[in-house]
Amino acid sequence: MIKKLVTLGLFSISVFSFAQETETKAEPKFSIMPSVGYSWRIAKTASGLSREEKEYVKGLKNGVSFDISGFYEVKKGVSFGLKYSNYSASSDGFIMGYVNGMPVSVPVTTKDNISFYGAGVLVTNDNKPTRHKLFMEGTFGVMTYTTKTASVKGTGTTFGAELDFGYQYQVSKNFLIGPKVGLAAGVLKKMKIDGVTYDLGNDNSEGLQRVSLSAAATFRF
């Protein structure tokens, strides 16, 4: 009887150890973080514009943004990964033009798009026993800009960076959700317009800086 109890005890210890090992191995390491929100471009508007032109440009200064990141945790609270983000805005209005020397109002529509592809680090307080999670995400990479007015298309590429700060509530081990604030930075010194490259210089450079407010989710597996 004693031999059977010892055998049963050893078996129970083995099962318990295996369960603990399995649970440890099952700890999520990958995180997918999508978010969607609104962004405001904060670069200074070029000088010398008319009131109508300023109002027109103002319509391109805010728009919808979304991003998605994928990270792998290398140690508790520190992860490395990749990020993609996109900003889009459009503006409709009238710009003053001239026909046969006479001023006329010309209806125009412009669509802007800024995309970012980067790699970076995610730092969280996951090492703390709380469901209230804070995180900081910093990424560096390539930022592309596309603007189209009627049939005229301009494109440009530059180095860019994005920095996000956020709070999320841990609904479960595999799902978190909450708000985040982001900052994106990049400056274009050259642009290609209808196939021709122009040097914008410092005075006419295109600032791609923007701030954003988004709802962000995290899926862990």
- pLDDT confidence of residue 26: 62
Report pTM. Answer: 0.82
CATH number at residue 214: 2.40.160.20
Mean pLDDT of 4-14: 42
Domain for residue 14, yes or no? Answer: no
Containing structural domain, residue 108: 27-220
Domain for residue 17, yes or no? Answer: no
Domain for residue 22, yes or no? Answer: no
In terms of Cα–Cα distance, which of 121, 117, 137 is closest to 186? 117
- pLDDT confidence of residue 59: 86
> Phi, psi at residue 180, to the nearest 5°?
-145, 155
> Phi, psi at residue 39, to the nearest 5°?
-130, 155
Domain for residue 20, yes or no? Answer: no
Predicted confidence (pLDDT) at residue 155 exceeds the cutoff of 90? yes
- The total number of structural domains that make up the chain: 1
- pLDDT confidence of residue 51: 75
Predicted confidence (pLDDT) at residue 211 exceeds the cutoff of 90? yes
Helix (H, G, I), strand (E, B) or coil at 207: strand
Q: Are 40 and 69 in contact (CB under 8 A)?
A: no
Q: Are 212 and 38 in contact (CB under 8 A)?
A: yes
Predicted confidence (pLDDT) at residue 10 exceeds the cutoff of 80? no
- pLDDT confidence of residue 17: 47
Domain for residue 183, yes or no? Answer: yes
Domain for residue 209, yes or no? Answer: yes
Predicted confidence (pLDDT) at residue 184 exceeds the cutoff of 50? yes
Domain for residue 172, yes or no? Answer: yes
- pLDDT confidence of residue 84: 98
With bands split at pLDDT 50, 70 and 90, how would you rate the model's confidence at 25?
low
- pLDDT above 70: percentage of residues in the chain: 87
Predicted confidence (pLDDT) at residue 11 exceeds the cutoff of 90? no
